[in-house]
Structure 1
Amino acid sequence: MPYSGELEFALSLADESRRILRARYGSNLTVEWKGDNTPVTLADREVEEILRRRIAEKTPGYGVIGEEFGHEPGSADREWVIDPIDGTKAFIHKTPLFGTLIALLEKGEPVLGIIDLPILGERVYATKGGGAFHNGKPCRVSSISTVEDALLLDGSITTMEKLGYGPAWANLRRKARLHRGWGDCYGHFMVATGAAEVMADPVVEIWDVAPMGVILPEAGGCFTSIKGQPGIRERSGLSTNGFLHDTVLKALAG
């Protein structure tokens, strides 16, 4: 498998994060609110600090981009991207639909990605050219090709409305077989494993979606911004099974 050594190390990082978050889940952690009105807990910082330390020991020279401690440039053309808890609000409210995100970028493009859901005991990962795997077994997106048969997910209806996508997204939701607000990494996980067809994430940072840039294509799906821009730096994310990607983009474009 391509990047097998890097994947083995990244999976060990996910194991470490899972151990910590399972121990912290459900406890009364102090919540702080950052300048962008998003929450952070001791667990977020603890996980990122430990992962950064292990990365520095194992892959010296690699850069690191993390949600809690920013960008640490390296001397190589590779960077790790980590989000210790994607879905901190879910974590705080004792809802198990949060996860740890880990990605490896090579010359700015994701070549390895992991979504780990510690409380659910679920994990999807992929390497460029190596396929996607769900709990160690190959996984693929669904083959559903009509909105009427699809499960649509989003990170925030309110934010979709604020950004001007409200009427178009509401129309898609009405047509869909089912709509749910299972946001953050869990929604993208659902698409990658064939359990949902569309996940719209209206506002994101690179650490929120870096793994999706390799996981979705390797699972047979598609990942772009909500405007259809390729890459992981466009501040929004749209994961689909591929069959519905153009349909959703056209609908959201008006």
Structure 2
Amino acid sequence: MDVENKSGHALFDPVTEADRAAEQAMRAFIGERFHDHGIIGEEYPDKLGTARHIWSLDPIDGTRSFICGLPNWTTLIALLEDGDPVLGLVDAPVLDEIYVGSGNEAWMVRSGGQVAIRTSQCCALSEARLSTTDPFLFGDDGHESCGFERLRRAARVTRYGHDAYAYARLAAGTIDLVVESGLKPHDYNPLGPLVRAAGGQVGNWSGGTDLASGAIVAAASRELYDAAVELLAVE
């Protein structure tokens, strides 16, 4: 299918008709079931209204993987209550895996069966399995890329290219640490509820909980999160 570059610049930010059609389908379904709920999404203008509940939608997270025929792209859905994400869902349809987290419960649905999931609780960087989507997407000033390089050298193993699927696998216990920057609300809204419900920690690069900067650290444990932030913060 045709692929457009949303950025219009050298940085390739792809969008396809599948992105738009999927978000339209989700918006229509939500509108039928929850007439007064707000909706924010990646591809279309926000519909907020006065509702306490707002749905956050990212129809295809990992469009680069999608257009390359790779299976690890996902659909991201979050439910916000009074502005705070209270439920997060990561759906990997090609892999037949759905990851859901709310409160203190997280689970995965695969082939019709549902199982509880939990992070690995890894505490040490030397034992950590680290992931980021692409190290070349970090900021141009060099601070972010240098911080990530310090983490990469400290971690046991590093894997790239998984977008939101890396957070799902962190919640399921097979990845221990995910570090990224430049994320938008539709990217990170589902991640906090999912990872925290599975026993993990999500915050920013400075150790705080405000994710508005788009610089995200998700870790299997508080100890691992603090160790990652300490390396990222070094000038």
Q: Give the TM-score taking structure 1 as reference length.
A: 0.84
What is the rounded CA distance, in whole Å, between the counterparts of 1:86 and 1:226 in structure 2? 22
Q: What is the aligned partner in structure 1 of residue 144 from structure 2?
A: 165
Q: What is the aligned partner in structure 2 of residue 12 from structure 1?
A: none
What is the rounded CA distance, in whole Å, between the counterparts of 2:204 and 2:161 in structure 1? 18
Q: What is the aligned partner in structure 2 of residue 220 from structure 1?
A: 199
Question: Which one of 216, 221, 229 corresponds to residue 249 of structure 1?
Answer: 229
Say whether 1:145 aligns with 2:120.
no
Question: Which one of 46, 53, 63 corresponds to residue 28 of structure 2?
Answer: 53
Structure 2 spans left out of the alignment, 5+ residues:
none
What is the rounded CA distance, in whole Å, between the counterparts of 1:83 and 1:110 in structure 2? 14
- Any runs of at least 4 consecutive aligned residues in structure 1 with deviations exceeding 3 A, and if so which? none
What is the rounded CA distance, in whole Å, between the counterparts of 2:161 and 2:13 in structure 1? 18
Q: Which sits farther off after the overlay, 159-168 or 186-195?
A: 159-168
Alpha-carbon deviations, 1:171-211, whole Å to 9, x = none?
22122211111331011112111011111111100000111
Which amino acid in 2 is paired with 1:52?
R
Q: How many residues align?
A: 225
Q: What is the aligned partner in structure 2 of residue 113 from structure 1?
A: 88
Q: What is the aligned partner in structure 2 of residue 4 from structure 1?
A: none
Question: Which one of 94, 102, 108 corresponds to residue 134 of structure 1?
Answer: 108
Structural RMSD (CA): 1.5
Structure number with higher helix proportion = 1
Are the equivalent residues in 2 in contact too, given 1:184–1:201 (CA < 8 A)?
Answer: no
Q: Which sits farther off after the overlay, 42-51 or 181-190?
A: 181-190
Are the equivalent residues in 2 in contact too, given 1:156–1:202 (CA < 8 A)?
Answer: no
Structure 1 spans left out of the alignment, 5+ residues:
1-28
Alpha-carbon deviations, 1:96-145, whole Å to 9, x = none?
1110000000011011110000111111101224x000222111000222
Say whether 1:96 aligns with 2:80.
no
Change (3 A) 1:183 1:162: farther
Q: Give the TM-score taking structure 2 as reference length.
A: 0.91
> Residue 180 of structure 1 aligns to a residue in which SS?
strand
> Residue 7 of structure 2 aligns to a residue in which SS?
coil
Aligned-residue sequence identity (percent) comes to: 32
> Residue 164 of structure 2 aligns to a residue in which SS?
helix
What is the rounded CA distance, in whole Å, between the counterparts of 1:151 and 1:127 in structure 2? 24
